[in-house]
Copies of this chain bind each other. A is one copy, B any other.
């Protein structure tokens, strides 16, 4: 493994010059730049990012913070998309990534967390699915110790951006499509998720707006994003509803299976666009979020912040889909 030293010697320049070339700093003649690049090529030189991070006060090392919910496998799908989206994008941009789970920070106070991250030369943070209860994490964000991007939360300030889809509109759209496609949909049963997160706010607004607009009766039950709970709620309230709108695909699947067991049919729709929907038994509309693209965007956004950009609220596109078994298998 050759070092910047070897390159410098090989090219007949000083190591600081090599460093400048490496980082595309101005003030290096084309001629020396070529010499250096040739040396880099010949020696198969790969810069040591650790050394760079240690030395520099503004390295491109970021941490991904995931709230793994190891109980539910569909979440695996989403988390894996988040992870691979971010890791791939970071790799393209030569950023270093470390992956952390919320569970590792449990019991830790904000200063500890900050210390830990700083000790790793972390300068950027991407936080997936923070909820109101994660107080210490909020403190970390507010400390502005890091350039951070939150996915699925409305936190924005000078050094914090948020990335997500338009929850309200998405919920409105998918429910509307489902309702308009079926006749006699007057009574809506809405299975919502946990309210400590931030996504439910928009989704609830969306379904409320729709129901007002179309003059529908709306019953809201908290399914806690749980398939089991949704199933139970459907057994209990499903008969009286004309359509069941769910705040997650998981719940949609639970609801649909309950309906099938009860041998009655009502249209159901979900939210997320996970592949499991293809196994649900009946097709349903859902909102497809491109999690890996969302995550890639988040990476680009921390880079934006690290380059001095302002925090902002980024709304990404989504689409309505219907996942058929035949389409999803491979």
Contact = CB atoms under 8 A, between A and B. Distances in A.
Nearest to A72: B330
B275 A73 contact: yes
Contact of A104 (B71, B88, B104, B328): B88
Interface residues of A, number: 56
Given A77-B73, A330-B227, A330-B228, A120 B48 contact: yes
Given A91-B104, A98-B98, A101-B87, A71 B119 contact: no
A115 interface: yes
Contacts of A97: 98-99
Given A227-B329, A228-B330, A84 B98 contact: no
A174 interface: no
B1 A119 contact: yes
A237 interface: no
Interface stretch (A50-58, A129-137, A204-212): A50-58
B47 A119 contact: yes
Copies in the complex: 2
Given A1-B115, A98-B96, A257-B325, A120 B50 contact: yes
Given A77-B77, A325-B257, A115 B72 contact: no
Contacts of A48: 54, 119-121
A84 B228 CA distance: 24
Given A119-B1, A276-B279, A84 B101 contact: yes
B76 A80 contact: yes
Contacts of A100: 87, 91
Given A76-B81, A80-B83, 6 more contacts: A44-B111, A47-B119, A48-B120, A73-B275, A88-B104, A228-B330
